[in-house]
Structure 1
């Protein structure tokens, strides 16, 4: 574990201790990771009479959904399904059969939040066949059906989709395809010692009520798993892009892209492909919260800062929503990131001649080469469409982010092979405003004053 200053460790531990005492949490654990290195772990309270450790298991609830999302994206990347496929193409017979797999992943099917029957989180689960049969017209909610409506039921369906296409249970697939490759040996379907027991805390007295922990059967993809701080910090690194070849980092970035917004006056929360998204004081966080009777958990990562935070608790309620961001804020305040020293880079003459000023019509842009060999096209005054581009084997470049994400950049050259213009998704960028020597659609007339 990378060491932090004693003052930082004390500030982090105090925040954890205040949370545990003021909100009366039987036990609470948390951890931080930065640049792939575990920075800090803290535990407070007691599990079986001892202070919890980074290896103490807690139930992680809906964080389970992130593993199901990864399994679905693996199937997509292997060509076994498309996100635009309707559910009927793989699991026919439900009232949402005309909705796409992508809409299931982003909670935009209009499906009910919970399955029919008794409170599923406190009862043993039924079979996938019974779950699918229960998704009739009564499982649909009022329009707009394309809007965000969180659905545990939908992830029960996605778990069965994975099972059908893999020929084994969704958890067996997760074990083989995710947990073992990432070394997450303490993430399991059921509790494994040492583990915390789940409790509800009486609202008006300091007494505990044991909560049930059932096998939820067909609904297990929505919230079954148990894990530890150590494993969840590894999962934070995965969401950040350290994927260990389980998924391509570009696919994880796709999962982090907003697919639905939990609407409000300000866009603060949303959902990607199996990942929750949060905006907080300039941060764009991705991960998931989790709650089951007796347990609360959250894992969030800030990909821009390559930083992540985790907490886990054995209480049905009580942990404040700001704990994760408070821990990240304390880290930033006490030990802000120190940038790496600038050093010159090796840049080929072919790339160097592309750099400098280009014009989109009359608007000046600047193209520069980034240290990792990417191109960065930004407006001269910093406002407007900006994107980075990665090279392709045929001499073209593909946009990585911003307005031109996924779009193709071609380098136009004159008879002498000198770069003369950029053709970016039909837009022509020239070395001077509306260069008449470049193939600007509509032609170029002379500049003049007045009418």
Structure 2
């Protein structure tokens, strides 16, 4: 079962009435995972009906005795895309742009679309990964700089945009970092500010997300990230070109503030979220909004975004109908492992309880 489905299962069962509270049940699940994976640091923030609870397991590194807490910094990877999507939606609400505008007139002058693809790509196509533009060749970037493959150059972006004459799979889903690079450029043009400054002004300062870090992340209370094979991995450097796609660093304390803002249905961030929750792409496998993904269960819908760097794995999920949200940060590039462990724990513990509980209800 994929990780996101595991998270939804976890939160679904948290709504079933047992003797424990939802927070205690979540703690018991992750504590079990931590026991069998002591080398993995995990920080979890859970918001339910406006109440925030934090759970932390492990140390900031394999060599350290310092325990992680809700202020410990992790890479959040592509959860950054959710932030970028919200900023574009805010720009739409402010009249700076329209999300269904073509991107042609919003790009910096050095980026010129070929005649073959002018007037075809909308901003919403970028946000929902269906622009048809080529993506960065991550394998090649790894060969050039294995520890910092996202130190891309202007020239590499120029080559992908200016020299491209064909949208091979326009309208089909294909995960894309170049799309969010362009979204960052669009934000910078309409606000005449850097992406970093826009993020701080529109989101970090209003929500007092004081430990969500951009270009400067030289802090003591941060994890060491580990690749899937257990080798330490440096945090990705801040590169203004690729930053809107996945270079923000944060913690559960700050990200739960964002969750609460989204769930509050008040303020500019929540208003922008209404746009982000609109379906722009859907097939039998996935449903994509403006920077995030949806999963429907009966008459309910869960919104989520995952992130995965070379050293960290992250999940950000919420459900407005039942008013909960969760963020999970790991210092290990192994979201699959966490998903498998959560599935196993669910099968062994909660599925049996749920069946037993439903049987009792039927008997009544």
TM-score normalised by the shorter chain: which range applies?
0.7 to 0.9
Contact kept? 1:239, 1:286, Cα under 8 Å = no
Equivalent residues in 2 for 1:364-383, closer than 5 Å:
none
Match of 1:131 in 2: 157
More strand by share: 1
Contact kept? 2:78, 2:305, Cα under 8 Å = yes
Structure 1 residues 66 and 323: alpha-carbon distance in aligned structure 2, compared to 1, 3 A threshold: farther
Match of 2:129 in 1: 107
More helix by share: 2
Structure 1 residues 283 and 215: alpha-carbon distance in aligned structure 2, compared to 1, 3 A threshold: same
TM-score of the superposed pair, with normalisation by structure 1: 0.63
Match of 1:223 in 2: 246
Contact kept? 1:124, 1:217, Cα under 8 Å = no
Q: In angstroms, what is the RMSD of aligned CA positions?
A: 3.1
Gap runs ≥5 in structure 2: 1-17, 355-364
SS of residue paired to 1:312: strand
TM-score of the superposed pair, with normalisation by structure 2: 0.76
The alpha carbon displacement at 1:63 in A equals 0.6
Quote the Cα distance in structure 2 between the aligned partners of 1:180 and 1:220: 18
Gap runs ≥5 in structure 1: 335-451
The alpha carbon displacement at 1:217 in A equals 3.2
The alpha carbon displacement at 1:289 in A equals 0.6
The alpha carbon displacement at 1:294 in A equals 0.3
Quote the Cα distance in structure 1 between the aligned partners of 2:339 and 2:118: 35
Match of 2:221 in 1: 194
Match of 1:43 in 2: 56
Equivalent residues in 2 for 1:37-436, closer than 5 Å:
37-38=51-52, 40-47=53-60, 48-91=64-107, 92-95=111-114, 97-98=118-119, 99-114=121-136, 118-119=141-142, 122-123=148-149, 125-128=151-154, 130-136=156-162, 142-143=168-169, 145-189=170-214, 190-191=216-217, 192-202=219-229, 208-243=231-266, 245-247=267-269, 249=271, 251-261=272-282, 263-264=283-284, 267=285, 269-280=286-297, 283-318=300-335, 319-321=337-339
Select the structure of larger CA radius of gyration.
1
Structure 1 residues 323 and 71: alpha-carbon distance in aligned structure 2, compared to 1, 3 A threshold: farther
SS of residue paired to 1:31: strand
Deviations 1:347-399 (A, max 9, x none): xxxxxxxxxxxxxxxxxxxxxxxxxxxxxxxxxxxxxxxxxxxxxxxxxxxxx
Structure 1 residues 177 and 171: alpha-carbon distance in aligned structure 2, compared to 1, 3 A threshold: same
The alpha carbon displacement at 1:16 in A equals 0.8
Match of 2:358 in 1: none
Structure 1 residues 105 and 196: alpha-carbon distance in aligned structure 2, compared to 1, 3 A threshold: same
Contact kept? 2:80, 2:248, Cα under 8 Å = yes
Higher relative contact order (CA 8 A, sep 6+): 2
SS of residue paired to 1:118: helix
The alpha carbon displacement at 1:309 in A equals 0.9
Structure 1 residues 56 and 254: alpha-carbon distance in aligned structure 2, compared to 1, 3 A threshold: same
